Chain A
């Protein structure tokens, strides 16, 4: 019995972990499949080792867990100590724990730990997958179903109920579990929308959960705009008549695209190039010049972002020189991150001051402090430049339509993307949350009809299956009245079980009929007559006529009518659904 339970739990735990691991595919990358095969292998190993002494496997698993813990500590010390990175390390560590623990899953405690870890892991799925989508919805439903199965198995095992005794066909308890789960899901959805969560803008937990992806995107955009700028400026140079102008433009382009250029050089280059682009000359049409100006502005924005990021990375690298000074590292990294995410000069200056104080008050050596101060200044200056540059650009954008064309009333939908475009920094934190929340809402709204559709489909499937049973019985009335009467009696007995009037095994049909008639006050003896006919059909050998079948059907339907009078409508509706579940037709 224990083996059967173990096998069933291993299967469901594997499904559970597969769902979780697949959800983390973007983070785990190639390790997704390694982890899954590892867990499968682990379960296989532990299943075959379940009878033998498990000391060795327990020691190995414990040793493996210690190694993973050591790796996690090492990775955390070498990280930027941002929440995002910490969470990612923890997720990876937890998945590796799952793999290692699967090798001793025959031990109930280890299996329980595996199952328990899967829950907090799954909670973080939407953060990693970058929002809410259909696959998450399916994973969630699958996850809940797996957990329901595991809980049920645990429940049976706790009270030594053999799996062989459990019937899933007529299991009222299991039906109740499914119904309660569905109601809970709907109820939680209703409460979720009725009392929505207040949006918190000030949050730094997950702002850079997809930092790596964003960085790659930024670098790509930067490279693209750099290529465009070089091409456009090359065109501009080639069309210049005077060699001095050509050299002057080249002189401006050089500090602009140079990696180590200072803010002043970049600013000067941008202004200089703008002045060339604004005065239409040969080869540069009016439209092209404006387009190049926009690309130039975007390029400078990207360049300042890249420099901010570079300064921040350099700060992190310096912090890593003293790995064990976690407290100072965390506070300085946090402040640097705040500077990066600031939306005004005032905020930048405020955080920069705090950062200076934190660096001064830290226990780093002087060399690190000196380097940190230099980098801090660089970060601060680039950030202020970036904010100012966005401000200028924003002002120019605003003034542009006033000068050149009549103001158009912009549709409400168009305003939103524009805002997002001009405030990429500010949107850093809240964008992810707002997007997640709205996406989640939409997913939930799609989930409700989805659940409703499933219930409807289920209802119709059961309804037609029951209808099929009914047709079978009707068909018997012509071909074999004897079989009809016997089957009809069995059907009625099953219905009476649903109506809480089950027959005891030893009770004779006529005695049972008397009891039922007394219980439901059946005065015309329809059930008794039916039972007499049933006994005749079952135990006699003489031929029964279709007329017998007709009279039995009349008695049957009449008795059911009387039976239903004893119940209220709500109870009848509930019982009707139960009859559908058991595919027992009512009136024939």
Chain B
């Protein structure tokens, strides 16, 4: 704002002082009169400005959604009410939208007049190009003099928290997930069981058991309340493992390795949880994080929130993360590793997981495509051949500029 007006101020001050100087040097009344015109106009403006600054009480409220996805346009509505006993003239409301691009980060609205006890609304929108947790605000109100030249600034510390989740894409094809069995899943969790659950037996009713689980025939027969018990027969579990290393974050902005990893992790998580698969997350960010196995929309929200704020500051390698958390990977499950081709060296330490009936799905990002610009088809082909020869499987690879949705849709199920 200062940048917008500083030239005008300097010019005005220069002209005013020039008039004074010329008036003193030449005794010409016109210069002297002009000097006083400038001084009195500025003086009157300042008096009004100070009155407004100290007497005006504004109530400002912002209505905003607390969640959005990368690239989404956020609709915001702000209500401003004049609770003071005098009207306010010529003021500008500024909202600081930290989630937006630099050019759009300040939204300004000019209000010429707001009478006592009256209110106005400002509707605006901003695009959220980058994932993260943002504090929208504060509001800044600039009170202007009647000439629109000088202003005083008042900050209203009103913030709204918003999560910009990483952009997810629909996954149409995914390698098969290994099926697991839970030996005992208890009555308390049966309400989430699906059709695959099998009847396990009956037992006496205990306080807290749901009435719908009462086995009426046995109850009638035994003359006491008997409930049914189920065992989870079919149960899918998966773990996503990735490491956001600062040193290996090649590329820039959205086309960087870490952003690709986060986007893939978010989309795979959504895909798996929507299919009722219990999901663990093991990730290396500024510290190693393990989000324990769970299902449902709330779990997905937790995962997305974590991915939203995940920082690319891991100082350890993928191998160390794996070693530290390998015992947390459940048996009879699937490990999905999102990794760089440069991390092949850790592949041998993951292969023994097969003994625990854990299948491995490596999603490999070709680092050279993020570093250099060249014909990537050949490079990808080479890497695929090498991997299939060394480890005996055909990996899913990603390179810079890939349409991630297309890559997954090409997977044969």
Task: Please report A residues at the B interface, Cβ cutoff 8 Å.
Answer: 116, 119-120, 123, 125-127, 132, 144, 148, 151-152, 154-156, 158-161, 171-174, 176-177, 180-181, 183-185, 187-189, 191-192, 197-200, 203, 205-206, 433, 436-437, 440-441, 444, 497, 500-502
Contacts and interface: CB of A to CB of B under 8 A. Distances in A.
A185 B118 CA distance: 32
A480 B12 CA distance: 58
A349 to B, nearest CB: 27
Interface string B286-307: 0000000000000000000000
B110 A159 contact: yes
Nearest to A200: B27
A436 B26 CA distance: 11
B30 interface: yes
Nearest to B145: A180
Most buried by A among B24, B39, B109, B146: B146
Contact of A120 (B15, B30, B36): B15
Most buried by A among B15, B22, B28, B149: B28
Contact of B28 (A151, A173, A174, A206): A206
Nearest to B113: A172
Contact of A188 (B40, B116, B144): B40
B317 interface: no
B28 A184 contact: no
B11 interface: yes
B147 A151 contact: yes
B36 A188 contact: yes
A171 B89 CA distance: 10
Interface in B1-29: 4, 11, 15, 18-19, 22-29
A116 B4 CA distance: 16
B60 interface: no
A173 B90 contact: yes
B148 A180 contact: no
B33 A188 contact: yes
Contacts of B27: 197-200, 203, 433, 437
A280 B356 CA distance: 149
B45 A159 contact: no
A324 to B, nearest CB: 28
B205 interface: no
Interface in B106-124: 108-110, 112-113, 115-118
Contacts of A440: 29-30, 33
B90 to A, nearest CB: 6
A126 B30 contact: yes
Most buried by A among B23, B110, B118: B110
B395 interface: no
B345 to A, nearest CB: 56
A123 B109 CA distance: 36
Nearest to B92: A159
B34 to A, nearest CB: 6
Nearest to A172: B113
B409 interface: no
A91 to B, nearest CB: 14
Contact of B118 (A158, A160, A502): A502
A126 B117 CA distance: 49
A116 B111 CA distance: 27
Nearest to B93: A159
A158 B116 CA distance: 26
A286 to B, nearest CB: 47
A322 B117 CA distance: 75
A19 to B, nearest CB: 15
B33 A180 contact: no
B59 to A, nearest CB: 16
A379 to B, nearest CB: 26
Contact of B112 (A158, A172, A500): A172
12 contacts: A127-B28, A148-B147, A158-B4, A171-B113, A176-B89, A184-B37, A184-B40, A185-B37, A187-B40, A200-B26, A436-B30, A500-B87
Contacts of A174: 112
Interface in B37-71: 37, 39-41, 43-45, 48
Contact of B41 (A154, A180, A433): A180
Contact of A184 (B15, B30, B44): B44
Interface string B216-241: 00000000000000000000000000
B149 A205 contact: no
Given A123-B34, A126-B30, 19 more contacts: A123-B15, A151-B147, A151-B148, A154-B148, A159-B92, A173-B146, A177-B147, A183-B44, A187-B43, A188-B33, A188-B40, A189-B33, A192-B33, A197-B23, A197-B32, A200-B26, A440-B33, A500-B118, A502-B115
Contacts of B89: 172-173, 176
A198 B27 CA distance: 7
Contacts of A185: 37, 40
Nearest to B147: A151
Contacts of A198: 27
Nearest to B35: A188
Interface string B145-164: 01111000000000000000
Nearest to B94: A159
Contacts of B112: 171-174
A341 to B, nearest CB: 15
Contact of B37 (A154, A156, A160, A188): A188
Contacts of B34: 123
A366 to B, nearest CB: 37
B29 A191 contact: no
A566 to B, nearest CB: 12
A154 B7 CA distance: 13
B146 A177 contact: yes
Contacts of A159: 92, 108-110
Contacts of A197: 23-24, 27, 29, 32
A100 to B, nearest CB: 21
Given A123-B30, A205-B25, A155 B87 contact: no
Given A436-B30, A444-B33, A200 B148 contact: no
B8 to A, nearest CB: 8
A171 B146 CA distance: 12
Contacts of B346: none
A171 B37 CA distance: 24
Contact of A500 (B15, B110, B115): B115
A159 B36 CA distance: 30
Contacts of A161: 110
Contacts of B147: 148, 151, 177, 180
Contacts of A172: 87, 89, 112-113
Contacts of B40: 183-185, 187-188, 191
Interface string B256-282: 000000000000000000000000000
A206 B115 contact: no
A123 B37 CA distance: 12
B18 A120 contact: yes
Given A120-B15, A500-B115, A203 B92 contact: no
B36 A436 contact: no
B29 A441 contact: yes
B316 to A, nearest CB: 50
A440 B4 CA distance: 37
Contacts of B22: 123
Contacts of B29: 132, 192, 197, 436-437, 440-441
Nearest to A434: B27
A497 B113 CA distance: 12
B322 to A, nearest CB: 54
Smallest CB-CB A-B distances: 10 pairs: A155-B148, A188-B36, A159-B110, A440-B29, A173-B112, A500-B116, A184-B41, A172-B113, A187-B40, A188-B40
Interface in B132-176: 144, 146-149
A116 B146 contact: no
Contacts of B33: 188-189, 192, 440, 444
A554 B104 CA distance: 56
A412 B33 CA distance: 30
A180 B90 CA distance: 14
